[in-house]
Amino acid sequence: MTILTGETLARLNAGVAIPRYDRRQVTTGIVHIGVGGFHRSHEATDVEPYDLMKLRLLNASHQALCYPGYLAGYLLVHEVTTDPLFARFLLDYMTAEAIPTLKPVPGIDLHQTLADLDQYA
């Protein structure tokens, strides 16, 4: 296996496309690739608020729903969220327990996001 470096890129077969930008100028960031070929990207100098938001809202919510949902007869998380009792529990958890532990997330209004979700609960 060849490890890609500036030196090994120069030795690749002529048929292999090599980036033309100056790779030394590239900085760390986040790229989101969506379905249907729609792409968007943004750079973040501090990914911690996004990471914590994902862990405490998405991952923890799945955990909070999985076990009681299974005991209530549901097999999949998305099925549990269709139950109004569990949907309310989830939104209450996010509002009262998760959001207060998060730093502000640039570009995201967490309370508005939950209000938008609440219309489907």
Query: Is the pLDDT score of 108 beyond 80?
Result: yes
Q: Where are the beta strands (DSSP E) in the chain?
A: 30-33, 39-42
Instruction: State what percent of residues in the chain have pLDDT above 70.
Output: 81
Q: What is the Cα gyration radius of the chain?
A: 21
Query: Is the pLDDT score of 31 beyond 60?
Result: no
Two structure tokens written together for 99: 């959001």
Domain range summary for the chain, segments of one domain joined by +: 48-118
Measured CA distances, 108 to 15, 34, 56, 114, 121 (Å): 43, 18, 15, 11, 21
The greatest distance separating any two alpha carbons of the chain, rounded to the nearest whole angstrom, comes to 61
Work out the average pLDDT over 98-104.
90
Query: Is the pLDDT score of 37 beyond 50?
Result: no
Task: Label residues 28-46 b or e (16+ Cβ within 10 Å = b).
Answer: eeeeeeeeeeeeeeeeeee
Rounded CA-CA distance 82/114 in Å is 16
What is the per-residue pLDDT across 50-99, written as a single tens digit (0 to 9) for each? 888 888 988 898 889 988 999 999 998 889 989 999 989 998 999 999 99
pTM, two decimals, is: 0.57
